[in-house]
Structure 1
Amino acid sequence: MIRMENVIKKYTMGEEEVYALAGVSMTVKEGEFVAIIGPSGSGKSTLMNIIGCLDAADSGIYSLNGTPIEHYSERELARLRSRQIGFIFQGFNLLPRLTALENVELPMVYQNIRTAEREKRAKEALERVGLGGRMNHKPGELSGGQQQRAAIARALATKPSLILADEPTGNLDSRTGREILSLFEEIHEAGNTIVLITHDAGVAARAQRQVKIQDGRIVGEEESHGNTILEDGMEIHCGK
């Protein structure tokens, strides 16, 4: 589903060029649940923006569902984002004046999906995340965990091929965060592809596979259910 080869992204700061991504190569297969983990300044946010087609690489190849995106126009990228990628953010990004149901419906308005179909999909998505009884509540009437559930429902309702989550538990207490991660596991088990961005090793461990990034480079990969870690091209076999 995702293929990156030697992706480079750099910024100019004064007279100095700073590499946010310094030759990233990685793949994500359809149906995988992958966590990209790294400290602040590691390049994970830049990587997320490129995966989500919110920014473009300076060089290298990025293909989504087999299609290289470097020649897409802004309009084509906007259409791709709305139809193929479901975004989940740390800050929920719900509109305060709309109900949970209306918030979930909103992306489908921009897809020109008919009213009856929008409402049907939104209700199904809210039921799926356990908010069937809170559809008509506005964000201010929902807890943090419920708001994140509504945000997840909004991502699911558009039936994207990829769900991209940026620090989805960052604004939640530990118990609520665990509940949200359990929900992600259920969504993955239902066949959805998920890429989760985090700095938290405990959160990353809940994914099927972890990709570690530091200083703009992939420095290791780890199968969460296995015992092989790749560090700078070397295999290290660890006991469970």
Structure 2
Amino acid sequence: METKDIIRLDDVSKVYTIGDTEVRALDHASLCIKEGEFVSIIGPSGSGKSTMMNIIGCLDIADEGHYYLNGQPIESYSENDLARIRNKQIGFIFQNFNLIGNLTAEENVELPLIYQKVPKAQRQALVDQALVRVQLGKRKDHKPTELSGGQQQRVAIARAIATKPSLFLADEPTGNLDSATGEEIMKLFHELHDAGHTIVLITHDEEVAVQASRIIRIKDGHVKEVSR
């Protein structure tokens, strides 16, 4: 059975004006990502990869071209639809973890489920499952300052797992970690991929990028598929 496209960008451009200068962050970029794939998007700083992540994650919109999410053009979704997609269908994982400092690991993982109005008993089960999956079941009462960088990133991954998204979108998830801890986090992504999840990983690190099943390179807003 043919797998469906989750993400398709056709001839997408995004232009920013900085003073008198026009910067094409994306320049007629096209790509397709199918359900269940593990894809890395690699490029140097300023290449356009963060802009692409923002468009894929429905955090920004393209100036030209078309973005299809689950086969539907993005412009067909209402603002409420997009908010629901960001909250339920996409699991965001960021370089800086984006944890709330005065909340415990358990409370950080629970927060998006509260926004989704998931009943308390079901929330607790989802949170517990997610924290066990990232091997932090015994650290659930710890706040971010009481956790290492790798543990904080595991909490961030657990927070994404708990919402049961169809897509994990990770922006430089190993960027603030030492190499050994980064390898542990990548092992988690491989486990998620082996379980059937779709993963798009944005990185500037070649050693991280080559671990994906497919590599897409981006430079000066131009996209190039890399054959393996």
Q: Which bracket does the TM-score occupy, shorter chain normalised?
A: over 0.9
C-alpha displacement at 1:59, in angstroms?
1.3
Q: Give, in whole Å, the separation in 2 of the partners of 1:116 and 1:39.
A: 44
Question: Which has the larger displacement, 210-219 or 73-82?
Answer: 73-82
SS at match of 2:227: strand
Q: Give, in whole Å, the separation in 1 of the partners of 2:17 and 2:111.
A: 37
- Decide whether the 8 Å contact of 1:9 with 1:20 is kept in 2: yes
Q: Structure 2: 5+ residue runs without aligned partners?
A: 1-5
Query: What are the residue-to-residue correspondences of 1:3-152 with 2, within 5 Å?
Result: 3-152=8-157
- Decide whether the 8 Å contact of 1:8 with 1:23 is kept in 2: yes
Percent identical:
64
The corresponding residue for 1:166 is 171
How many pairs were matched up?
A: 223
Query: Are 2:222 and 1:217 aligned?
Result: yes
The corresponding residue for 1:236 is none
- Decide whether the 8 Å contact of 1:211 with 1:222 is kept in 2: no
Question: Which has the larger displacement, 7-16 or 194-203?
Answer: 7-16
C-alpha displacement at 1:220, in angstroms?
3.3
Where does structure 1 differ by over 4 angstroms across 4 or more consecutive aligned residues?
A: none
The corresponding residue for 2:3 is none
Q: Give deviations 1:69-113, integer Å, cap 9, x for gaps.
A: 124333321111101100000001111111111100100111111
C-alpha displacement at 1:18, in angstroms?
1.4
SS at match of 1:50: helix
TM-score where L is the length of structure 2: 0.95
- Greater relative CO (CA pairs within 8 A, separation 6+): 2
SS at match of 1:36: strand
Q: CA RMSD in A?
A: 1.0
SS at match of 1:152: helix
Q: Give, in whole Å, the separation in 1 of the partners of 2:226 and 2:90.
A: 24
C-alpha displacement at 1:64, in angstroms?
1.0
Q: Give, in whole Å, the separation in 1 of the partners of 2:138 and 2:227.
A: 39
What letter matches 2:130 in structure 1? A
Q: Give, in whole Å, the separation in 2 of the partners of 1:15 and 1:172.
A: 38
Q: Give, in whole Å, the separation in 1 of the partners of 2:208 and 2:127.
A: 27
C-alpha displacement at 1:167, in angstroms?
0.2
The corresponding residue for 1:227 is none
SS at match of 2:45: coil
Q: Give deviations 1:149-193, integer Å, cap 9, x for gaps.
A: 010000010000000000000110110001100111011000110
What letter matches 1:170 in structure 2? G
Q: Give deviations 1:196-239, integer Å, cap 9, x for gaps.
A: 0000000001111110000101133233xxxxxxxxxxxxxxxx
TM-score where L is the length of structure 1: 0.91
Q: Structure 1: 5+ residue runs without aligned partners?
A: 224-240
C-alpha displacement at 1:12, in angstroms?
1.4
What letter matches 2:22 in structure 1? E
C-alpha displacement at 1:37, in angstroms?
0.1
What letter matches 2:156 in structure 1? A
Query: What are the residue-to-residue correspondences of 1:168-187 with 2, within 5 Å?
Result: 168-187=173-192
C-alpha displacement at 1:140, in angstroms?
1.0
What letter matches 1:171 in structure 2? N
Q: Give, in whole Å, the separation in 2 of the partners of 1:53 and 1:166.
A: 14
